[in-house]
């Protein structure tokens, strides 16, 4: 097959996306596919005639993830020509030539349904869920409402529309997080008024909607779901602090335990909850659902759902698939095969 792996972009998860794209690109090449890796924002200004027959190494210039998320204004300044549009030069034309686009985008514009909707209008096939479930899953305030409507336990909280809207009554410690973020960018655990005010102000630099939630002290887990079926549970244990951007992507910062050490009943309960989230958010193909289990009584809480899970060397979904004996190249091909069912 001729496959475009689409990565990069201009979200705070740009660097993560590029590494996901690089790993997917390498895996698909290993499986004998004709693959082009594109930065959706930077594009490609060369000849696109027979581009899938090129022997170019499209991943050669991609560097490892830094400890801090990228400066997006600096990224935008790197693009030549028109910088107003999201899609870089030739991106849509090349994607139109592909049998399918493997979505390796992370963050707002890649996961909020806009790219998926564009591809639907252009007749371009792509991996992952559709634009509707992508949009509702990306917005944590909307997905939280859906969790509550479907009886899915989630931390209580309130929505802030501006940084002066500070009248909520969530007790300390509490969590401040952007509604449309990812990779824990714009997430803060605060213990007093000064920390809270600073966190809210900083969060509004990323998004125009901010959530304030109760802090649930306990163990953190994640569960991949493929075609509605939960994979083995993975527990994430950061060596220092919480599971923030640095701990997620710097090797050696966390200990991942898969399968998680849980009772048979608790394992079944959490996997069933993940499948219910997948169904409630109308997801298709695959996803990853994140949970906390409260230390005091082992009650589980759903934090969020990810429609395009990370596929980096330290990402969770590939580890869960490996626990079932599915290697990374096979996982990538499985995602493509399942995604193509959307179009039958």
Which H or E run contains 230? strand 229-230
Angle between helices 264-280 and 140-149 (to 10 degrees): 110
pLDDT beyond 90 at 80: no
Strands 157-160, 229-230: pairing kind:
unpaired
Give me the residues paired with residue 103 across strands.
Answer: 6
Closest CA to 102 of 67, 127, 75: 127
pLDDT of 206: 78
Average pLDDT of the segment spanning 35-47 = 95
Poorest-confidence range of 98-107, 201-210, 243-252, 253-262? Answer: 243-252
CATH topology for 137-152+217-326? D-amino Acid Aminotransferase; Chain A, domain 1 (3.30.470)
Residue with tokens 């107003």: 84
What is the chain's mean pLDDT, rounded?
89
Determine the 3-state secondary structure of 142 from DSSP.
Answer: helix
Q: How far is CA 192 from the centre of its chain?
A: 30
pLDDT beyond 70 at 56: yes
Answer for the pair 125, 6: CB distance below 8 angstroms, yes or no.
no
123 band by pLDDT with thresholds 50, 70 and 90: very high
Give me the residues paired with residue 220 across strands.
Answer: 236, 292
Q: Where are the domains of the chain?
A: 2-126, 137-152+217-326, 157-214
Q: Give CATH for domain 157-214.
A: 3.30.1490.20
Average pLDDT of the segment spanning 145-149 = 94
Q: What's this model's pTM, rounded to 2 decimal places? A: 0.87
Question: Which has the higher per-residue pLDDT, 250 or 12?
Answer: 12
The 10s digit of each residue's pLDDT in 180-234 is 765 456 788 899 988 888 888 888 887 778 889 899 999 999 999 999 999 999 9
CATH topology for 2-126? Rossmann fold (3.40.50)
Angle between helices 14-30 and 328-340 (to 10 degrees): 90
pLDDT of 298: 96
């Amino acid at each position: 097959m001729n496959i475009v792996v689409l990565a990069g972009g201009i979200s705070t998860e740009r660097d993560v996306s590029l590494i996901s794209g690089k790993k997917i690109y390498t895996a698909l090449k290993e499986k004998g596919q004709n693959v082009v890796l594109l930065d959706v924002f930077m594009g490609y200004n060369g000849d696109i005639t027979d581009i899938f027959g090129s022997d170019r190494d499209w991943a050669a210039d991609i560097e490892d993830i830094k400890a801090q998320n990228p400066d997006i204004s600096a990224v935008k300044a790197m693009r030549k020509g028109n910088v107003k549009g999201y899609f870089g030069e030739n991106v849509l034309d090349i994607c139109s030539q592909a049998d399918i686009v493997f979505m390796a985008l992370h963050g707002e514009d890649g996961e909020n349904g806009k790219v998926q909707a564009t591809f639907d209008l252009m007749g371009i096939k792509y991996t992952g869920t559709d634009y509707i479930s992508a949009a509702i899953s990306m917005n944590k305030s909307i997905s939280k409402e859906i969790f509550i409507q479907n009886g899915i336990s989630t931390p209580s909280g309130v929505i802030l529309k501006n940084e002066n809207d500070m009248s909520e009554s969530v007790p300390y410690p509490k969590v401040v997080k952007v509604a449309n973020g990812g990779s824990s960018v714009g997430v803060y655990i605060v213990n007093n008024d000064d920390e809270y005010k600073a966190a809210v102000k900083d969060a509004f630099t990323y998004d125009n909607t901010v959530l304030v939630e109760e802090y649930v002290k306990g163990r953190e887990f994640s569960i991949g779901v493929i075609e509605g079926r939960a994979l083995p549970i993975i527990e994430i244990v950061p060596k220092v602090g919480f599971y923030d951007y640095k701990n997620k992507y710097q090797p050696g910062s966390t200990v991942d335990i898969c399968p998680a050490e849980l009772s048979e009943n608790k394992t079944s309960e959490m996997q069933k909850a993940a499948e219910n989230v997948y169904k409630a958010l109308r997801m298709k193909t695959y996803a990853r659902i994140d949970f906390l289990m409260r230390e005091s009584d082992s009650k589980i809480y759903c934090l969020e759902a990810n429609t395009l899970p990370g596929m980096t060397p330290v990402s969770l979904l590939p580890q869960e698939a490996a626990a079932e004996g599915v290697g990374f190249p096979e996982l990538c091909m499985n995602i493509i095969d399942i995604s193509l069912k959307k179009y039958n």
